[in-house]
Amino acid sequence: MTMFLVRTAARTAVRTNSCRSFCVSHTQLSDRKGLVLGVFEKKEEEDEGTLHLTEAAAGFDKSLSGKLSELLKLSGPALKNGKSRVFYGLHKDFPCVAVVGLGKNNAGVCRTENWDTSKENIRQAVSAGCRLLQDLEVSHVEVDSCGDAQSAAEGAVLGLFHYDQLKSKKKTKVTTQLHGSADVVGWEKGIVYAEGQNLARLLMEAPANHITPTAFAKTIEEKLAPHADRVTIHKRPQAWIEEQQMGAFLSVSKGSEEPPVFLELHYNGSPDSKQPPLLLVGKGITFDSGGISLKPSASMDAMRADMGGAATVCASIVTAASLKLPVNIVGLAPLCENMPSGKATKPGDVVKAKNGKTIQVDNTDAEGRLILADALCYGHVFNPRAIVNVATLTGAMDVALGSAAAGVFTNSDWLWEQLHRASVVTGDRVWRMPLFQHYTKQVTDSQLADLNNIGKYSRSGGACTAAAFLREFVKAPHWAHLDIAGVMSNKDEVPYLRKGMSGRPTRTLVEFAAGLAHNG
């Protein structure tokens, strides 16, 4: 009978993911704090009921004379990785305490998965705990570092993001704070990394009538305003684009009533002002209808995020400036819409790029490579140490890799290693794809011009032929093209990102830039 009463009391104090069994007034919850704590899985040889609390969780449990661990044992099976459980009324300062499963302790880097499993587990678990408390309308949450304050901060901030700017009813805005750890530097770094990705998500998710080329450029200008001592911004108008003879870019923009903008950002973070910059180039199609080669109407609304390359590039520069990374970066974002009209480019038209090469445009929906071609040509004037362009370029990339990783096409083993190393740390993975001459031949065999904007065999190897096309406009020895079409949005693949536009791979770009800054 005594055990029955204990178990009943435990159930009264606990809420799992599927049920709420204790009610606290909204006012009380919103005025007070929540707490997220972690627990690791037991080792295989250990007895059932063995608990491995994090340092912060163990300290909290000790302050309660072991009440937390007792309830964890009584309330159900051991928490698996990413699962969570909420306890009520344990502590006067925290009406709600979410305990989250962290998986195995010190899991480390998994060579098969190509990421640091421990970091990913922390991001996933902390985001789950924070969301549970957000759903309970708790407005301030203290978060256990779980042994890695940066990953915990990333999980919290990424997991709480929700695009509701245009809705009347909004989710509770939650502020977060580190709990039980002295690693404030790591925590704050994680906050900045995650806020950078959230900026990209914000830009990508916003409707195209709100984020036009002009509005996009203005938004980035506002975000960089606090860093004016290190940042120079040029919002190049159509007249400048014409002076630069960017015929490929103009061939895409001319179908729209919205004027194009060539956004140029200079972040001067290195003590050596003459240090060759890292050049980041992002595709900035703020809405892609396909042009005369019109897309199907189903899911066309998602093409508001076809500027994901520009969003992640610009967000990564904002983040680098916030972190004061000691590196020079130049960011280029050709911004325009791809729309059908009487002025729009027609299939079969021939246009001339900035480097003088002529391009037969057989498909106006293969427009991203055209605007990137002129941006890449222009970017060489900065004598960059490396060039990385980012674009939601091809549906073929989504078919090839899905949302598991961004595809990387590069002429440089060194650059690939830098990008890959960064992605292992962030968990936002990249995967190397082929850049064979086999594909180059398919875009240089054109009936009317030097190049064709689609491959000779149309859909076959579409991501590879697109990369081969871009290579025709690159002279630098260290260049990489990231095709991010497959990672543009998230359904439920990445647990710490809600459904919607993902902002990937912003954190990987930032980590890559940080690696160049500190390792050369």
| Residues marked as catalytic | 295, 369
Amino acid letter at 182? A
* Cα within 13 Å of Cα(220), Cβ side: 37
Answer for the pair 498, 490: CB distance below 8 angstroms, yes or no: yes
Q: Which residues contact 391 (CB under 8 A, 6 or more apart)?
A: 282, 283, 308, 309, 368, 369, 372, 481, 482, 483, 484, 485
Answer for the pair 464, 490: CB distance below 8 angstroms, yes or no: no
Q: Is 42 left (phi over 0), alpha (psi -120 to 50) or beta?
A: beta
Burial of 276 (0-12, 13-18, 19+ CB in 10 A): middle
Answer for the pair 184, 178: CB distance below 8 angstroms, yes or no: yes
Q: Which residues contact 478 (CB under 8 A, 6 or more apart)?
A: 385, 386, 387, 411, 412, 414, 415
Alpha carbon of 18 to those of 21, 35, 67, 112: distances in Å? 10, 19, 23, 33
Read off the tokens for 119. Answer: 């970091």
Q: Which residue stretches of 292-336 are H helix?
A: 308-323
Read off the tokens for 7. Answer: 């178990």
C-alpha to C-alpha distance for 35 and 407, rounded to whole angstroms: 38
Output the DSSP codes for 34-94: EEEEEEEPPPTTSPTT--EE-HHHHHHHHHTTTHHHHHHHHSSSPPPTT-EEEEEEEETTE
C-alpha to C-alpha distance for 316 and 338, rounded to whole angstroms: 25
Angle CA(484)–CA(339)–CA(355) in degrees, nearest 5?
65
Phi–psi pair at 154, nearest 5 degrees: -60, -45
Answer for the pair 143, 153: CB distance below 8 angstroms, yes or no: yes
Read off the tokens for 64. Answer: 């309660």
